[in-house]
Amino acid sequence: MQPIANRMLNYLQPQMYAKFTMLANQKGCINLGQGFPNFPSPQMMRDALSEEAQTESLQYTMTSGHPKLLHSASKFFEQQIGCKINVDKEIMASSGAQAVLSCVMQGVLNPGDEVILFDPAFDLYRPMIEFQGARHIGVPIIPKKLNNKQEIIKRYKDGKFQYSQDDDWELDFNYLERVINKKTKLLLLNSPMNPIGKVFSTEEYNQLADILDRHPQVVVCEDAAYHHITFGKYQPFNYPRCITHPRLKDRTVCVTSAGKMYSSTGLRVGFAVGNEEIIKGIKAAQTYHIFCLNPVIQTATAKCLDQTLDGKYFQSVKNLYEEQANMLLKGLVDSRLNMNYWVPQGGYFVVTDISQIQIPEKYFDDNGNRLTRDFAFAYYMINEFGVVCIPCSPYYENKQLGQNYVRWAFCKTTETIQEAINRLK
């Protein structure tokens, strides 16, 4: 007689990122796995937290968020994203984008509802969908082509890789239309996308809007956790978004992360912005989820948003991340590993194809269970190269497809990336 609820049975092992971070620490590896910056958080965040700790109330505050935070966030997003936000009805704060997503799922999904995910989809989405008794459907996004070292190095100029059509990962819209049906309630879209760094284009959103016009019950959840990190022609916050698309915005809830924006993944402040009705359901979920957030971290975050309203801070952060992305990609291209590559358009990560790599057979065995290729590769990297990356099959419904990819984080110091590159030479 076991006491644990059935919904949790598949999720009792330490979560993947935690597991690989532990391994990284144990074995003295360079950790390019879990997506947290290892450079210092901005002093303005520390100072704000410290100041607010002395003066702000430490009692319950409003469930939907501290008024100062909601006002600052609304103002910031209005200025940087160009959307209009009713601060009483169209925005809510929660304990990181993770908690926001959890409230979105609870607020919107009935048992039996279907949710469309674009694979590779962040692996924390699927459990949350299941916990609401809903069903997730993976629609794969597929690279247009494989770029080997020789091909991709041609696009390397002045320390930067030039993004081209050869780096596109494409959505099969026909496939999408086939899997959408009356039961589809939610479509989850992540842009810039973890792990591939894809930024969806306006044309893609137009096509999506065409399809969704025929399915008016579908809500779009736009995960914009990396909306401040967009490369090439895109500016921070300023790239094609569902929350600003004329035909998608009214059915969209946009999820963002103040923690990621301020390179402080432990902050645990995130936002939902969007349709009043959706926000209403999310606020109700939040009430019973965590009741309210700590006021000090909220007013400190508000201070940071106010201080960075002109966006300059984010320009320099984006430039930093772009440099690190190029540094890491070059290192992976120069490495002794025979992989295939794509230039990311944003986010924290690059993904490589590992289908050509010779992985020693022993790494495919985990206590008698046969591991997928990506996990075997990840353990091979840990044990023989001393570098941690993240296997991508958990991001896919189709594990056969997903097992060809692994993810590398570039939100790391130059020293860290260089050390990783040295170990991979």
Partner 1 sequence: MQDNIIADRMAPYLQLQMYAKFTQLAVKNSCVNMGQGFPNFPPPQFLRQAIAEEALTESLQYTITAGHPRLLKAAADFFEKHMGVKVDTAKEIVASSGAQSVLACVFQALLNPDDEVICFDPAFDFYRPLIEFQGAKHVGVPLKPGQLNSKASILNRFENGKIKFSKEDEWHLDYEYLEQRINAKTKMVILNSPQNPIGKVFSVEELDRLAEILEKHPQIIVCEDAAYHHVVFGGYQPFSYPRCFTHPKLKSKTVCVTSAGKMFSATGLRIGFAMGDEKYIKAIKSAQTYHNFCLNPVLQTATAKCLEQTIDGQYFTEIRDLYEEQSTMLLKGLLESRLNLHCWVPQGGYFLVTDISDVDIPEKYFKDDQDGHQLTKDFAFAYYMACEIGVVCIPCSPYFENKELGSRFVRWAFCKTTETIQDACNRLK
Binding residues among 97-136 for partner 1 as defined by CB under 8 A: 98-99, 102, 106-111, 124, 127-128, 131-133
Binding residues among 331-390 for partner 1 as defined by CB under 8 A: none
**CA 224 to CA 243: how far, in whole Å?**
10
Minimum distance, C-beta of residue 417 to partner 1, in the bound complex (Å): 17
Q: Shortest CA distance to 175 belongs to which of 137, 202, 145?
A: 137
The one segment of 81-89, 136-144, 160-168, 280-288 that binds partner 1 by CB under 8 A: 280-288
Nearer to partner 1, 8 or 142 (CB): 8
Nearer to partner 1, 157 or 182 (CB): 182
Instruction: Determine phi and psi for 162, rounding to 5 degrees.
Output: -85, 125
- Residue 238 engages partner 1 in binding (rule: CB under 8 A): no
- Residue 59 engages partner 1 in binding (rule: CB under 8 A): yes
Minimum distance, C-beta of residue 411 to partner 1, in the bound complex (Å): 10
- Residue 195 engages partner 1 in binding (rule: CB under 8 A): no
Residues β-bridged to residue 271: 93, 256
Q: Which residues contact 46 (CB under 8 A, 6 or more apart)?
A: none
Q: Residues in contact with partner 1, total (CB under 8 A)?
A: 79
The one segment of 49-57, 74-82, 306-314, 388-396 that binds partner 1 by CB under 8 A: 49-57
**CA 314 to CA 413: how far, in whole Å?**
17
- Residue 393 engages partner 1 in binding (rule: CB under 8 A): no
**CA 266 to CA 41: how far, in whole Å?**
10
**CA 124 to CA 134: how far, in whole Å?**
14
Binding residues among 206-225 for partner 1 as defined by CB under 8 A: 216-217, 219
Nearer to partner 1, 28 or 111 (CB): 111
Tokens 């597929």 found at: 142
- Residue 275 engages partner 1 in binding (rule: CB under 8 A): yes
- Residue 250 engages partner 1 in binding (rule: CB under 8 A): yes
For the chain, the first-to-last Cα distance in angstroms comes to 52
- CA trace torsion 188, 282, 71, 293 (10° rounding): -110
- Residue 54 engages partner 1 in binding (rule: CB under 8 A): yes
- Residue 203 engages partner 1 in binding (rule: CB under 8 A): no
**CA 367 to CA 384: how far, in whole Å?**
19
